Structure 1
Amino acid sequence: MGHAQRTGTTRHHAASFPPRPGTAAPHPRPRTTRPRRALLAALLTAALVTPLAGAARPQIPAPRPALLTAPLTPSTLPSAYEANRENATEAARMAAVHGDAHRAAADSALAAPSRHLLAFDGRGTGQAVEVLGDLAHAEHIAVLVPGSDTTLDTYTRFHRAAAALYTHLTHRTGSAHGPAPRVAVIAWLGYETPATVSTTVTTTTRADEAAPRLRAFVRRLRTLTPAGTHLSLLCHSYGSVVCGRAAPGLDSDDIALVGSPGTGADSVAALRTRARVWAARGGDDWVADVPHVRAGLFGITVGFGTDPVSTAFGARVFDAAGADHSGYFTPGSASLANLARITLDHPSEVTRG
């Protein structure tokens, strides 16, 4: 969900931890992993106990979220989409008056007639929940849960990932499984993501706040879609922490963790979910060098525990080939193909990692 750089110089990507310092090493990895891990652990500690200085961005004015006049049902979806587009239009106008052309453009894009917004809130860093496809009649739904630094200002990259999956699903060829299934993809920016370099990105605080919202959203989806609809959560980076905290009681069929620093749980069993749990990490993803530990520090738990692609965790590990941290939804990639197979409930076709 973004263009993460291996050098760690950018903050415009949906990562969960700051990238490791230095330049990417060729494969195979040299025997400097342990020093790198120690250095990164020190950096994470410093990020927690030493808040970074810097001027905060002025608050961007925006209207309160749209007040829907009717309960959300399949028949009222069009009016809900329209109400949220109108709200995004007003948010764009207010941002423009405020002098923030970038946010105004982002809001205007979401207000386009072709966009289907289940929710929109232009205040602060912003939140949006967007549907690609016919939600009311979908047989298979994928909900994308993003990682850090995903805001309305960076939403285009998140939308690009959702659109890549939707395109792959709807252009899937072959008759082995009969007629093309009806699918929907949902970009769920339904929580305030942590900044990549911040005191919150190393803890579950934001994930704990987001988890009940994600559970409630999935429950609502179940009332909007036909009985038996297959629902998958595809969770990237810090988004996998959100999914891990939401997992108990989450009414999903599959949970896929990609580029995950951990879930806050030590094993699939500890997630207490009925869903199949999948995990993948690409060969060029810097998150491989993040220490997969949890430790108490000044009364706060830092880190997210067991590596989700490890044998100890117990997930179904699938192939992501050489994906980097931002590459799991790249068109034509092994990871995107496998995420589509998970979405379509074809577990036997998922290639293992």
Structure 2
Amino acid sequence: MSSSRERRRPGRLRPGRPGRLRRTLLAGLVTAAVAVPVSAAASPQVPAPAAVVFAEDATPAERYAANRANLTEAARMAEAAGRTGRAGRLRAMEAGGAARFLAFDGRGGGRAVEVLGDLATADRVAVLVPGSDTTLDTYQRFRAGAVALQQRLQAEHPQSAVVAWLGYDTPGTVSPSVLTAGRADEAARELGPFIPELQQQARPGARLSLLCHSYGSVVCARTETGPAVTDVALFGSPGTGADRAGALPTGARVWAGRGAGDWIARVPHVRLAGVGFGTDPVDPAFGALPFAAGSGGHSDYLKPGSRSLDSLARIVLGTAREARRA
């Protein structure tokens, strides 16, 4: 968060400025979203087998094996349909047959829930929730951040794991859906039940944290976490739809940070007729615990060696008092 941030509440108008400015700003965002189509939305559906449905008592090993086979078949079907780009990206996800997916669905934009580390021995587990434009076609970018986080955690605490949770249909960065909570509400209905399932598969008593980037912070803000989650970190957030951290459906500590170079700071933090997400989570009025996010941009929070990555790792490990220092 930039040290030069104005003291007045972001998104609030100065006295005497017409209230219609908010409507103008939001109208501009909506117009841009409608006028510029998202390539993912315009592309044809990708053929793939249906996702595997597991019994409640299925072990992680059973899930990994079945989803790996599903992934291999999805790559074969994409290749046969002439979708060579998707086929290549799916083969990259296989990572030599060692990738471990708790869930995988190769249809459309796709979904994937990958485990980095060993859940059976991990007593610190981070669930990484991505933002807009994250699909199987951009998965390696998302995964690179998860790998960087896992490596940072492992360097200090070997009994840790990261779950890369692409468990919802993310909105396009330039689309009407990115301005509303519809996709987030759908995602929260998936993420909420996933948390106790993950708790059962992890080491008993494991500490769970949600790390939520960009539109992913809207998802986390709507997810009932239950007592298993100790910390929720919002970063690069456009807002949550709530006026304060205490209104979120969680008993966990809520953290917020923003890199000094993040363009999301210029997004109007207003909410009008269901469009926009209101109060900026890094605004002290929101009540989240601040963490140092350094000078990076919107896509730099999990960059190796960054201050933001270090802060997020400390939140996961439970040593986050240091992360609160600006």
Per the TM superposition, whether the score is higher than 0.5 is yes
Query: Superposition pairs for residues 1-353 of structure 1, below 5 Å?
Result: 41-47=26-32, 52=37, 56-68=42-54, 70-72=55-57, 76-111=59-94, 112-172=96-156, 180-247=157-224, 249=226, 251-296=228-273, 301-353=274-326
The amino acid that maps onto 1:271 is L
SS in 2 for 1:157: helix
Contact 2:149–2:162 under 8 Å retained in 1 = yes
Normalising to structure 1: TM-score of the pair? Answer: 0.82
Let me know the Cα RMSD of the aligned residues: 2.4
Which letter maps to 2:63?
A
> 1:258 Cα shift?
0.5
**Quick check: 1:126–1:192 contact (8 Å CA) kept in 2?**
yes
> C-alpha offsets along residues 162-218 of structure 1, whole Å, 9 cap, x if unaligned?
00000111123xxxxxxx440000000000000011110000000000001101110
Q: Mark the CA change 1:303 to 1:53 in structure 2 (over 3 Å): closer, same or farther.
A: closer
- Partners of 2:290 and 2:224 in 1: how far apart? 18
Seq. identity, %: 54
Matches of 2:286 and 2:233, distance apart in 1: 13
Structure 1 residues 308 and 84: alpha-carbon distance in aligned structure 2, compared to 1, 3 A threshold = same
- Aligned residues of 2:26 and 2:276 also touching (Cα < 8 A): no
Give the distance between the partners of 1:59 and 1:250, measured in 2 at CA: 39
Structure-2 separation of matches of 1:89 and 1:51: 34
How many residues of Structure 1 are paired with residues of Structure 2 in the alignment? Answer: 310
Deviations 1:257-312 (A, max 9, x none): 0000011111011113210000000000000011111101xxxx000110000011
Task: Output the amino acid matched with 2:43.
Answer: R
> Which structure has more helix as a fraction of its residues?
2
TM-score by length of 2: 0.89
Aligned to 1:226, what secondary structure does the other structure show? coil
Q: Using the alignment, how far apart are the partners of 1:341 and 1:52 within structure 2?
A: 39
Q: Secondary structure at the match of 1:103?
A: helix
CA distance in 2, matches of 1:56, 1:342: 39
Contact kept, 8 Å, 2:167 with 2:187, in 1: the verdict is yes
Q: Could you tell me which runs of 5 or more consecutive residues in structure 1 were left unpaired when the two chains were aligned.
A: 1-26, 173-179
Partner Cα separation in structure 1 for residue 93 and residue 185 of structure 2: 27
Contact 1:148–1:201 (CA<8 Å) still a contact in 2? yes
Amino acid at match of 1:108: R
Q: 1:337 to 1:39 in 2, by over 3 A?
A: farther
Spell out, residue by residue over 1:308-327, the C-alpha distance to the aligned partner (whole angstroms, 9 max, x if none).
00011000011111010000
Shift of the alpha carbon at 1:37? 8.7
Query: What does residue 175 of structure 1 align with?
Result: none
Return closer, same or farther for 1:64/1:245 CA change in 2, 3 Å cut-off.
same
> SS where residue 114 of structure 2 aligns?
strand
Secondary structure of 2:141's partner? helix
Amino acid at match of 1:132: L
Structure 2 unmatched runs, 5+? 6-10, 14-20
Q: How far apart, in 2, do the equivalents of 1:40 and 1:168 lie?
A: 39
Cα separation, 2, equivalents of 1:267 and 1:50: 33
